[in-house]
Amino acid sequence: MEIKVVKHILEANEVIASQNRKLFEEKGIYVANLMGSPGAGKTTLLEKTIEKLKETKSIAVIEGDIETSRDAERIAAHAIPTVQINTGGACHLDGNMVRGGLEGFDLDQIDLLIVENVGNLVCPAEFEIGENDKAMIISVTEGDDKPEKYPLMFQVSSVLLLNKIDLLPYLDFDMERFQGEAFKVNPRLKIMNISCKTGEGLDNWFRWIEERTSKKGS
pLDDT at 81 > cutoff 50: yes
Number of structural domains in the chain: 1
Phi-psi region of 143 (alpha: psi -120 to 50; beta: other; left: phi over 0): left
The reported pLDDT for the residue numbered 218 is: 60
Average pLDDT over residues 149-177: 98
pLDDT at 3 > cutoff 70: no
Range list of H helices, 123-201: 146-149, 151-156, 175-185
Which pTM was predicted? 0.94
List the CATH number of the domain containing 99.
Answer: 3.40.50.300
The reported pLDDT for the residue numbered 4 is: 55
Domain of 115 in residue numbering reads as 2-217
Tens digit of each residue's pLDDT (9 = 90 or more) over 84-102: 999 998 999 999 999 999 9
The reported pLDDT for the residue numbered 8 is: 74
Burial-class residue 204 by CB neighbours within 10 Å (0-12, 13-18, 19+).
Answer: middle
Average pLDDT over residues 184-212: 98
**Mean per-residue pLDDT over the chain, rounded:** 95
The answer to whether the CB of 173 falls within 8 A of the CB of 181 is no
